[in-house]
Structure formats: C-alpha cells, structure tokens
C-alpha cells in the first residue's frame, strides 16, 4: 500500500464563496458554519475531483491516481496547520476520503501558525520535518511519496527538500499546470561523520524544538564550521542561544533515518552478562540524589548489551547542562542534570574504534528517555 504524505493549506475554505450555483453556495457555507463536515464533504463529492472547486489537495491526489502513480490502494497522511481553519480543512478531507473507503491519518503540525512568524519558523517548520520523517520511518520510505501541493510556500519548500534528501519522490501541482510534476530524489550524500561527531548537539537541539538553548549548556571544545548552516544563533542579554535551522532539522532527520538501517554493523561487541559490573555506591563526595544517579547508571549497564559498567567522574552542584551522551577525549560520557546540578559519568564498553564509540553514543542518545526516566 502506498502512503501519500500531503501538505495541506486552507484555500479550500475560500472556494465555497466562489461556487457559481448560488443555492449550493449557501448550503455549503451554512454547513461550514455549523461544522457539518460530512455535509461539506458530500457537496464536494458532487463535483469531479479534477474540478478546481474541490481544492488543491483533492485535485492533486486525483492527478496522482489518474496518472497511475499511486494506483487505487493507498493511505493518506494529511499534514495540517495548527489553526482552526487547518483543523476544518483536515476534517473535511478526512470525511471526503472516508466516504470513498480510503484510510486517512490527520497530523496536526504544532506551531505551524501563520500569525506567529517566529513560532512558525522556530517550531512549526521543524515539527513538520519531524512529523514527516516519523511517518516515513514508520511506513518505510520506499512505500511513501510526498504530495507537496497544498499549504504555505515555506511548507511546500521544506517538504520538497526533505523528500529529496531522504530519497522519496515528491509531487507538486500548481493550479495553472495541466498535470502534476515530480521532484526526484537528489543524488547527493550528507556528511554522516559530522552528524555522528556532533550527535549530542543534534539530539539536544532536536529535543528542544520549542526553545532556544544556551550555547554554554551544550558547549563543545570546538564547533566545526560545517555546523554553522545547520543552526541559528541568537544573542539575548549578552548570552548566545542556538537552535536547529530548518536545514539542520532536515539534516538530522535524514541522517537519523539512514543510520538506523546500518547502526547494528557499527555497535561495539556485546558484553557477557557475567562480565557486567553494577554500581553499588558513589565515591565519597557530596553527591546530590545518589539514588537517581546510581539507578540511571545501573539501568544503562543492564539494558545496553555493549556496556560493561559506568563510573562517575564529575560533579558540579551549580552548573546545569543538557542531558545526553557525548564522546569526549576518547571516552563515552553521560550527562545527568537536574535542579541546577550536573553529574557526568564514563560509560565503559568494548568499543575498539572511534566509529564504534560514535555508534555507541548515537545509540545511547536515541534511547535517552528509556534510560533516564
């Protein structure tokens, strides 16, 4: 079954005012005002799906079927804006296609708000990328295509960029075009080594989608200049804050998806259970929340096949940092930070090479919630 990811706009709502049939126009507007989406969908179904009254989304999906690109057995994933109008269009489309026996999944993109430009850029576009990447991973890129016809121009551009980066065919139909056009995947490679080297940074920024993060909280000894196009910087009251740029979010989601298919080849060798050493107590320092620190380390030792043991190596009671794992001077280091204090610990593995250590860091970061909470 083909999965069609569709960006969705709100122009459909304006079409009802332009119906030539005055009676049908009044009935449609009345149904819309009453949120009678089933009635609105029935009215749309009275038109051919190629009719412009049906809107860009229905027109383009019809074209995909008419051209034999998706056949008759497919599932629709509508990516709708975080607005009342976006919700209305989503529900109308859902009713319309349910009436035709087609599976529909509505995905609300949090922060995709045209009236809040900063939130639109900082949160909305990045959440669009994350949600699209999630669907592509869930159903398999090879079983998906992207219909980037509806929605804001920035939304369409991001969908095209992500599809091309992930090797997914993207289609677009302008209202003036007689047929749909395709954007095939681009034959370029992304820098996997850079992504692995700065996996802690990408993980922290990805998890902080709604917030700017102070650079000091994720400080590296040195940031490669290649990172600059992938982050946005903002200085507030003399402090530098960063976030993933739109390109950075696409970079992260693309490499994350690709890496998951080959990760197993690079992970360190498995440690026999009898060789694992669990932590019973911490060094004789004024550790905050000893039980929490011990519990997290022992959970990692127990659940991660390639971890032998963990040992604490740093405490700062007054310096908050972002939690995660990082490769530092050849050692895999975990960071726990709660209520203003920070503890770091070394994760001991059987890793024989730098790539195995990087793979271990990525694995630990991708399962962070399981170990820390």
| DSSP letters for 238-269 | TEEEEEE-HHHHHHHHHHHHHHHHHGGGTSPP
Say which CATH number the domain at 238 has. Answer: 1.10.10.10
Q: What is the pLDDT of residues 31-83, one digit of tens each?
A: 999 999 999 999 999 999 999 999 999 999 999 999 899 988 999 999 999 99
Query: Looking at the predicted structure, is the pLDDT value of residue 210 above 80?
Result: no
Residues 193 and 339 in one domain: no
357, 359, 356: which is closest to 346 by C-alpha?
357
Do 178 and 89 share a structural domain?
Answer: yes
Q: Which two tokens stand for residue 125?
A: 């576009």
Q: How many residues does the chain have?
A: 373
Q: Which of 239, 265, 291 is the last residue of a domain?
A: 265
Count the domains in the chain: 3
On whether both 122 and 209 belong to a single domain, the answer is no
Looking at residue 209, its pLDDT comes to: 59
Half-sphere exposure of 267 (CA within 13 A, CB side): 16
Where in 93-172 does DSSP place strands (E)? 103-109, 144-147, 170-172
pTM higher than the cut 0.75: yes
Q: Where are the beta strands (DSSP E) in the chain?
A: 2-7, 74-81, 103-109, 144-147, 170-172, 181-183, 213-214, 231-236, 239-244, 307-316, 324-328, 331-338, 341-349
Is the same domain home to 18 and 137? yes
* Same domain flag for 178 and 40: yes
pLDDT band at 189 (very low <50, low <70, confident <90, very high): low
Q: Tokens 């793979």 — which residue?
A: 359
């Amino acid at each position: 079954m083909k999965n069609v990811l569709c960006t969705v706009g709100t122009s459909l709502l304006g079409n009802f005012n332009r119906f030539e049939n005055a009676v049908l126009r009044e009935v449609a507007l009345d149904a819309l005002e009453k949120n009678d989406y089933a009635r609105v969908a029935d009215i749309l179904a009275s038109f051919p799906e190629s009719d412009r009254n049906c809107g860009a989304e229905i027109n383009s999906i019809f074209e995909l079927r008419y051209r034999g690109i998706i056949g008759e057995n497919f599932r629709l994933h509508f990516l709708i804006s975080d607005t009342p109008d976006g919700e209305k269009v989503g529900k109308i489309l859902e009713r319309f296609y349910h009436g035709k026996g087609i599976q529909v999944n509505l995905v609300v993109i949090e922060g995709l708000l045209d009236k809040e430009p900063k939130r639109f850029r900082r949160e909305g576009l990045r959440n669009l990328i994350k949600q699209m990447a999630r669907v592509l991973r869930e159903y398999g890129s090879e079983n998906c295509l992207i219909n980037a016809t509806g929605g804001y121009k920035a939304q369409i551009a991001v969908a095209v960029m992500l599809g091309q980066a992930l090797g997914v065919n993207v289609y677009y139909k302008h209202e003036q075009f007689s047929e749909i056009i395709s954007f095939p995947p681009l034959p370029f490679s992304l820098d996997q080594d850079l992504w692995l080297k700065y996996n802690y940074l990408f993980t922290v920024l990805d998890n902080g989608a709604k917030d700017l993060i102070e650079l000091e909280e994720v400080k590296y000894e040195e940031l490669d200049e290649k990172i600059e196009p992938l982050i946005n910087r903002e200085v507030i009251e003399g402090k530098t804050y960063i976030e993933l740029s739109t390109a950075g979010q696409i970079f992260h989601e693309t490499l994350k998806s690709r890496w998951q298919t080959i990760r197993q080849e690079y992970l360190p060798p498995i440690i026999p259970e009898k060789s694992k050493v669990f932590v019973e107590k911490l060094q004789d320092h004024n550790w905050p929340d000893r039980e929490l620190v011990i519990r997290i380390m022992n959970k990692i030792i127990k659940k991660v096949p390639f971890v032998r043991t963990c040992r604490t190596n740093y405490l700062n009671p007054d310096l908050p940092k972002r939690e995660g794992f990082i490769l530092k001077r050849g050692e895999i280091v975990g960071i726990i930070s709660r209520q203003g204090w920070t503890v770091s610990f070394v994760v001991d593995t059987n890793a024989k090479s730098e790539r195995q250590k990087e793979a271990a860091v990525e694995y630990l970061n991708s399962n962070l919630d399981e170990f820390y909470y």
